[in-house]
Amino acid sequence: MLSLKLAIKNLLGAGLRTWLNVIALSFAFVLIIFYNGMIDGWNRQSKRDTIDWESGKGQFWHPEYDRYDPYTIEDSHAPLSREILEEIEKKNLAPVLVSQATAYPQGRSIGVTIFGIDPKQTILKLPTATLPASNGTDYAIIGKSMAESANLSVGDNLLIRWRDKNGTFDAREIQIASIFKCDVPIVDKGKIYIAIETLQEMLGMENEATLLVTGEGFEFRELNGWVFKDNDFLLADMEKIIQSKKVSGSILQALLLIIALIAIFDTQVLSIFRRQKEIGTYIALGLTRAQVVGIFTVEGAAHSLLAILLGSAYGIPLFLWLNRTGIAMGYAEDMEFDLPLAEVIYPYYSIRLIIITVIIVIITATIVSYMPARKISKMKPTEALKGKLQ
Amino acid sequence: MKRMKKIFITALMTTALVGLAAQDADQILETVDKNMSSKNRIFESDMVIQGRRNSRTITSVSYSVGDKQSFTEYISPAREQGTKMLKLEDKLWIYSPSTDRIIQISGHMLRQSVMGSDLSYEDMMDDRKMTEVYSATVAGHEEIDGRDTYVLDLTAKVDDVAYHSQKIWVDTERYVPLKQEMFAKSGQLLKRTTLSNVQKIQGRWFPMNMVYKDMLKDGKGTEFRVNSAKFDQDIPDYIFTKAALKQ
């Protein structure tokens, strides 16, 4: 307690030098929490968006289906049993039929994936209800990114060519019924959504689907002939990529922390050099060398406590404000990276994140304070009292 | 009674004529296949790809056995030199010397055009004999570039065929198609091929110039000029292996 009191007294007595160190360390402290909070917020939003737009509460896949292997799409379809049809009727399952095709917007050709989906489904946020019933014209909905890359607007006709279940080419025009805005690129880029019955008829795969998206009301059980993929599996890759961003960001945070710690280290070295008489006096008063090392270590480490207090003083209002307004990221027009990115990210600061950051800052500050203080244990008290260089 | 007899004879004659026409058409198609197909073949060819502002020519040598095995090596321009393509059954691999890697073409990529041409990788993989997949009827006669042609309407007789129907114009003398149109199941015209410069090679007539046009896409199409063609040669088996791609 004595050493802490002494440390705080000495620190405050040092004036501007202390505050410069504290400000630098508080920046590192606030930045670490801000960056990790932003990544955690992004991760949470991405998961939520992907669940809402793509994965639902998990999916049943045809055993042959692999979303990363286009070879499997051709053979990944199976008839829907009575049990499944009943669940579809109750809106607990949304069947999706997948096929590859070529679209010809304005005389260009682009590879697309057609998703046949139940227009009445309510499990996914896809605005399938805007798909009009086929009346000689077939309708499709597409995402904003797809609409921009293919230069398509609502009401435009798009010629598509595909191969049916036998591999025979077929082609027809579909009309764009609506364009949706979605933060999940995988749902948007190169995707066309049409009524599942239309796609079943186009492919000659009546009453068949490639996968089934489960909704809230689905009571989990095995479905014969289908393999269940939970959200831990469906979202694993996305989470890994986002977490890897945390690692790359940690390099910047570490650099900032190191700069702040170097300043503390430098201050400690200077203190011990200039305050040899003080050290000699402590020892002469009966303090052991270890106690004196302790006083100086606590003094250095106290920088971190002040930094945390200062950081909290401006960080808490800043974080609360960011939490309310969010961080505008702009709409990922080109969606170059296939990760969900909302227009506004709301950072998420968990207690765990704050505690870990506090511990890191205190421990590292203590270590860099202790390292120069070790020199004290080698000092001769008589020489120190005289203030002689050692 | 007399009237019934007349109707019966007319119906009989019509059936016989339709049958004869179909038989004629199938025979024409068979002769076309004899000209166009072979046990194996080696082509040296130029592919002229028409761009929006300019055109570029890609020269290649290709070895094919039936419709299951094919190996192509690109000779020029320098940018494409050394690129090789291997097709075995329904699988396709490409070797690029710049990356020194072999990649398998799949999914969306199979639908992409080959080096910006009007031919997709899928198109290159589909070359079965027409008699195996189509039944033909003679729709009439037309003249193309001063040559009389049979106009044949082809309809798929098997399920696993790329084009549900085709229309081909066959030279009545040389039994070589001079024009070919491929249709989707919906009747939409998908591709048009014009064939010319018919030459006699090893006893068969063969068109040395072909222009492929994807009718759904803008552009002038892709010209395929065969500089030399050899049929029924001894092609070593190792050519059709993935190891040959890196050699």
CB hemisphere CA count around B81 (13 angstroms): 5
Q: Model confidence over A173-203: pLDDT tens digits? A: 999 999 998 888 889 988 999 999 999 999 9
Q: Are residues A13 and A126 in the same domain?
A: no
Is the Cβ–Cβ distance between A345 and A326 less than 8 Å?
yes
Q: Report pLDDT for A348.
A: 87
A130 and A41 within one domain: no
A208 and A332 housed in the same domain: no
What pLDDT, on a 0 to 100 scale, did the predictor assign at position B12? 44
**What is the per-residue pLDDT across A332-364, written as a single tens digit (0 to 9) for each?**
554 555 667 777 888 888 888 889 888 888 888
| Mean pLDDT (whole number) for A151-174 | 91
For chain B, what percent of residues have pLDDT higher than 90? 36
Q: Which of A172, A198, A229 is the last residue of a domain?
A: A229
Please report the residues numbered 335 through 354 in chain A whose beta carbons come closer than 8 angstroms to any beta carbon of chain B.
none
Nearest neighbour of B185 by CB, restricted to A100, A168, A190: A168
Asked if A73 and A199 sit in the same domain, the reply is yes
A302-317: per-residue pLDDT in tens? 888 888 889 889 989 9
Mean pLDDT of chain A: 85
3-class secondary structure, A200: helix
pLDDT for residue A264 is more than 60: yes
- Mean pLDDT for A231-235 is 91
pLDDT level of residue A387 (50, 70, 90 thresholds): low
Distance to chain A for B103, nearest Cα, Å: 14
The reported pLDDT for the residue numbered B15 is: 44
Task: Determine contact, residues B44/B59, Cβ cutoff 8 Å.
Answer: yes
In 3D space, the residue among B163, B133, B166, B164 whose CA is nearest the CA of residue B152 turns out to be B166
Whether residues A71 and A19 fall in one domain: no
Residues from chain B contacting residue A71 (CB–CB below 8 Å): 106-107
Distance from CA of B55 to the nearest CA of A (A): 17
A41-45 average pLDDT score: 86
- The total of other beta-carbon atoms located within 10 Å of residue A161's CB is 21
For residue B14, what pLDDT band results from cuts at 50, 70 and 90?
very low
Considering the domain boundaries, does residue A213 fall inside one?
yes
Instruction: State the pLDDT confidence band at B18, using cuts at 50, 70 and 90.
Output: very low
Work out the angle between the directed axes of helices A289-325 and A351-373 (0-180°, nearest 10).
150
Helix crossing, A289-325 with A16-50: angle to 10°? Answer: 40
What pLDDT is recorded for position B124?
Answer: 66
Final residue in a domain of this structure, among A200, A229, A258: A229
- pLDDT tens per residue across span B80-94: 899 998 988 777 898
pLDDT over 90 (residue A16): no
Q: What is the DSSP letter of A81?
A: P
CB B214 within 8 A of CB B163: no
**pTM confidence score:** 0.76
**CB contact at 8 A, A361 and A27:** no
Q: How far apart are CA A1 and CA B72, in angstroms?
A: 83
Residue B69, pLDDT > 80, answer yes
Q: Are residues A188 and A256 in the same domain?
A: no
Cβ burial, residue B197 (10 Å; 0-12/13-18/19+): exposed
Residue of chain B whose alpha carbon sits nearest to that of A168: B162
Indicate whether A169 belongs to any domain.
yes
Task: Tell me the pLDDT band of B226, cut-offs 50, 70 and 90.
Answer: very high
Indicate whether A234 belongs to any domain: no
Domain check: are A221 and A250 in the same one? no
- Interchain pair B162, A169: CB under 8 A: yes
Domain boundary among the residues A196, A229, A262 is at: A229
ipTM of this predicted structure: 0.76
From A286, A291, A283, A300, select the one nearest A386 (Cα to Cα): A283
Count of domains for chain A: 2
Q: Measure CB to CB from residue A70 to each of B107, B163, B182 and give the nearest one.
A: B107
Judged against a pLDDT cut of 90, whether residue B199 lies above it is answered with yes
Lowest pLDDT segment from A128-142, A228-242, A371-385, B1-15: B1-15
For residues B175-204, average pLDDT: 93
Q: Per residue in A108-126, pLDDT tens?
A: 888 899 999 999 999 999 9
- Whether A45 and A83 map to the same domain: the answer is no
Query: Is A187 found in the same domain as A78?
Result: yes
d(C-alpha A207, C-alpha A277), whole Å: 91
> What b-and-e string marks burial along B105-132, b requiring 16 or more CB atoms within 10 Å of the CB?
bbbbbbbbbbbebbbbbbbbbebbbbbe
Q: At A105, is the pLDDT very low, low, confident or very high (cuts 50, 70, 90)?
A: very high
Summarised one tens digit per residue, pLDDT across range B131-142 is 888 999 999 999
Which pLDDT score is estimated for B126?
A: 62
Q: Of A65, A66, A48, A45, whose CA–CA distance to A57 is shortest?
A: A48
More confident residue, B52 or B40: B40
Domains and CATH numbers, chain B: 2-36+128-230 (2.50.20.10), 56-122+233-245 (no CATH)
What's the pLDDT at B5? 56
Same domain, A333 and A373: yes
Q: Do A119 and A128 touch, CB atoms closer than 8 A? A: yes
What was the pLDDT predicted at A78? Answer: 94
The answer to whether residues A36 and A140 belong to one domain is no
Structural domain for A170, as ranges: 59-229
Q: Are residues A264 and A189 in the same domain?
A: no
Judged against a pLDDT cut of 50, whether residue A139 lies above it is answered with yes
Share of chain A above pLDDT 70, in %: 95
A71 and chain B: CB distance < 8 Å anywhere? yes
Cis-peptide into B77, omega within 30 deg? yes
Question: Given pLDDT bands bounded at 50, 70 and 90, which one contains residue A287?
Answer: confident
pLDDT given at position B51: 74
Among partner residues B108, B162, B219, which is closest to A167 by beta-carbon distance? B162
Q: Which residue has the tokens 């006083």?
A: A295
Q: Which residues of B touch A108 (CB under 8 A)?
A: 217-218
Q: Does residue B60 carry a pLDDT above 60? A: yes
Q: What is the mean pLDDT of chain B?
A: 83
What integer is the mean pLDDT of A252-256? 79
Lookup: tokens for A221? 């059980």
- Three-state DSSP at B45 gives strand
pLDDT band at B6 (very low <50, low <70, confident <90, very high): low
Lowest mean pLDDT across A99-108, A190-199, A234-243: A234-243
Q: How far is CA B10 from the centre of its chain?
A: 39
Q: Greater confidence, A334 or B213? A: B213
Beta bridge partners of A254: none
| Contact status of A168 with chain B (Cβ, < 8 Å) | yes
**Whether residue B3 has pLDDT greater than 70:** no
